[in-house]
């Protein structure tokens, strides 16, 4: 085996071992419990969710846009627990990146040039690396769509893809916009543009094949129009700061490559601009640019790399040529070893405050289960889905991260105001029949309720505090 081949293998080992660590997802995120709850409800009732019964706050018609993903996820969790969720996360996250790599290679990009873009994209993709969320399915489907569009292999299977996509995740909207932009960007090829326009229209019509039909898109429109910035991942990127610098660097590099290459293909410009805009407007969309960059940029930079290899004559450095692949392989082995040492098969559910910011009221919930407490539970907004998953059939909870896909906007605002201890936070307790309160120990609401007449502290630990209304007789 020659040394250049050995170098490519070492680069593969280094890049993909890094992707393994970055994209694995260690701690359970808040939305995970909603997906599991939805899957449990679908399997228990044999029906697609339409009305929520786990909350005591006002709800509207439930538009469960990821019902199919939840229904597929729940059996995996029952069979393999947290380890199964970690495996699924890796399959979709690393799988999407591998598919993007293969797409770039099929367009003529070299292994090292493509791996370079992959390495630059991995930090941005890590924003989506969490156990499990249906957006990961959208990542895979987006890569497949971009590959088909760039290769000119779109056909009548595309609307079928959109039927599956719309029932798996609302990220189908990005797919439709990409189809539309690719169609517009093909204006130099009238026959191709006409064919793509027909397929785009057919794909848009295909998205109505979902349990909620047109109401599905009303829900998407309402979420897009929401200006609530209290949810971190819905916030925009703060430019020229250390706020997600990996994304800002990737945007700058993408723009520099397109300008330096003097690329006249409007389709690449339009798609990459869309992904950069989506990520800048909403943090949770940041991975989209990373995947699109891996699919589209390597073939653009390949002529530069080819000319560099042809023009530059490097002096032989036998020792370095031997050591470099060995060092890369050794570093990849070290990364994988440290990854295994972190017990990647175990899903972490932090039960106390930590540096990552995500933790759960495990002690309080176990206390409620042991004491068989029942009632209407006003819970810290990010914990709502976890409480609904753990206390299903025992307590009804206030609003949670499913937001306006389930709850009225007033219910969401009241719950967030309560969670943050804003002026008027008591409205959640006075306007709705609340009998229990579960909040972080450090919350100003917790401090106030300890002095509030009519409320009694039942349980407290370093992370959470549980209160009961003294006027209620709790089972």
Closest listed residue to residue 143, CA positions, set 178, 191, 169, 170? 178
For residue 51, what is the enclosing H or E element? none
Give the pLDDT score at 472: 56
DSSP state, residue 27: B
Q: What is the pLDDT of residues 378-429, one digit of tens each?
A: 999 999 999 999 999 999 999 888 888 888 888 888 999 999 999 889 999 9
Please state at what angle helix 157-168 crosses helix 135-151, rounded to 10 degrees: 160
| Alpha-carbon Rg for the chain in angstroms | 25
Neighbouring C-beta atoms of residue 406, cutoff 10 Å: 25
Mean pLDDT, residues 28-41 taken together: 93
Mean pLDDT, residues 160-173 taken together: 96
Mean pLDDT, residues 3-7 taken together: 74
Q: Checking DSSP bridges between strand 395-397 and strand 375-379, what pairing results, if any?
A: parallel
Question: Chain centroid to CA 455: how far?
Answer: 38
Distance CA 21, CA 41 (A): 33
Residue 352 near residue 359, CB atoms below 8 Å: yes
Residue 368 near residue 466, CB atoms below 8 Å: yes
Closest listed residue to residue 119, CA positions, set 26, 24, 25, 11? 11
Q: What is the pLDDT of residues 330-367, one digit of tens each?
A: 888 888 888 888 787 888 899 888 877 889 999 999 99
Give the pLDDT score at 185: 94
Q: What is the pLDDT of residues 75-102, one digit of tens each?
A: 999 999 988 998 899 899 999 999 999 9
Give the pLDDT score at 442: 92
- Does 285 score more than 70 pLDDT? yes
- Does 152 score more than 80 pLDDT? yes
Question: 445 is written with which tokens?
Answer: 């609401």
- The contacts of residue 153 (CB under 8 Å, 6+ apart) are 147
Residue-level length of the chain = 475
Closest listed residue to residue 251, CA positions, set 285, 216, 210? 285
Give the pLDDT score at 475: 54
Give the pLDDT score at 76: 93
Give the pLDDT score at 2: 60
Distance CA 410, CA 58 (A): 8
Give the pLDDT score at 228: 62
Closest listed residue to residue 357, CA positions, set 232, 246, 465? 232
**Domain segments of the chain as ranges:** 3-30+63-326, 362-469
Q: What is the pLDDT of residues 101-146, one digit of tens each?
A: 999 999 999 999 999 999 999 999 988 777 888 999 999 999 999 9
Residue 32 near residue 133, CB atoms below 8 Å: yes
Give the pLDDT score at 224: 79
Residue 63 near residue 216, CB atoms below 8 Å: yes
Distance CA 280, CA 230 (A): 17
- The contacts of residue 380 (CB under 8 Å, 6+ apart) are 361, 419, 438, 439, 440, 443
Q: What is the pLDDT of residues 211-242, one digit of tens each?
A: 999 999 998 888 877 666 667 778 888 888 87
- Does 321 score more than 70 pLDDT? no
């Amino acid at each position: 085996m020659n040394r250049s081949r050995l170098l490519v293998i070492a680069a593969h080992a280094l890049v993909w071992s890094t992707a393994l660590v970055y994209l694995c997802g260690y701690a359970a995120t808040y939305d995970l419990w909603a997906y599991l709850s939805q899957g449990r409800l679908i399997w228990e009732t044999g029906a697609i969710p339409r009305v929520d019964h786990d909350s005591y706050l006002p709800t509207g018609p439930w538009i469960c846009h990821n019902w199919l993903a939840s229904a597929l996820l729940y059996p995996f969790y029952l069979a393999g627990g947290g380890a199964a969720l970690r495996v699924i996360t890796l399959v979709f996250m690393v799988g999407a990146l591998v598919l993007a790599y293969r797409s770039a290679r099929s367009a003529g990009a070299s292994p090292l040039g493509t791996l370079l873009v992959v390495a630059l994209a991995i930090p941005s993709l890590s924003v989506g690396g969490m156990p499990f969320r249906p957006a990961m399915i959208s990542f895979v489907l987006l890569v497949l769509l971009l590959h088909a569009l760039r290769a000119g292999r779109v056909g009548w299977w595309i609307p079928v893809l959109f039927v599956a996509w719309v029932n798996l995740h609302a990220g189908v909207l990005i797919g439709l916009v990409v189809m539309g932009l690719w169609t517009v960007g093909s204006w130099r090829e009238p026959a191709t543009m006409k064919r793509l326009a027909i397929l785009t229209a057919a794909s848009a019509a295909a998205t109505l094949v979902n349990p909620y039909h047109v109401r599905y898109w009303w829900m998407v429109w309402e979420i897009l129009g929401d200006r609530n910035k209290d949810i971190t991942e819905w916030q925009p990127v703060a430019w020229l700061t250390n706020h997600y610098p990996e994304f800002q660097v990737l945007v700058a590099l993408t723009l520099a490559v397109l300008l330096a290459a003097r690329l006249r293909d409007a389709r690449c410009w339009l798609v990459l601009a869309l992904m950069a805009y989506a990520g800048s407007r909403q943090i949770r969309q940041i991975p989209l640019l990373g995947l699109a960059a891996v699919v589209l940029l390597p073939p653009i930079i390949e002529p530069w790399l080819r000319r560099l290899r042809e023009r530059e004559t490097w002096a032989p450095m036998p020792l370095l040529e031997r050591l470099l692949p060995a060092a890369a392989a050794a570093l990849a082995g070290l990364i994988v070893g440290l990854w295994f040492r972190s017990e990647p098969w175990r899903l972490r559910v932090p039960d106390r405050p930590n540096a990552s910011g995500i933790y759960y009221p495990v002690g309080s919930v176990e206390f409620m289960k042991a004491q068989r407490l029942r009632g209407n539970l006003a819970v810290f907004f990010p914990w709502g889905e976890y409480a609904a998953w753990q206390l299903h059939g025992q307590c009804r909870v206030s609003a949670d991260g499913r937001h306006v896909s389930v709850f009225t906007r007033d219910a969401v605002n009241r719950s967030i105001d309560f969670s943050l201890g804003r002026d008027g936070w008591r409205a959640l307790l006075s306007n709705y029949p609340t009998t229990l309160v579960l909040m972080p120990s450090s919350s100003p609401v917790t401090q106030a309720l300890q002095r509030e007449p009519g409320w009694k502290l039942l349980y407290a630990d370093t992370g959470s505090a549980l209160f009961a209304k003294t006027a209620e007789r709790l089972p």
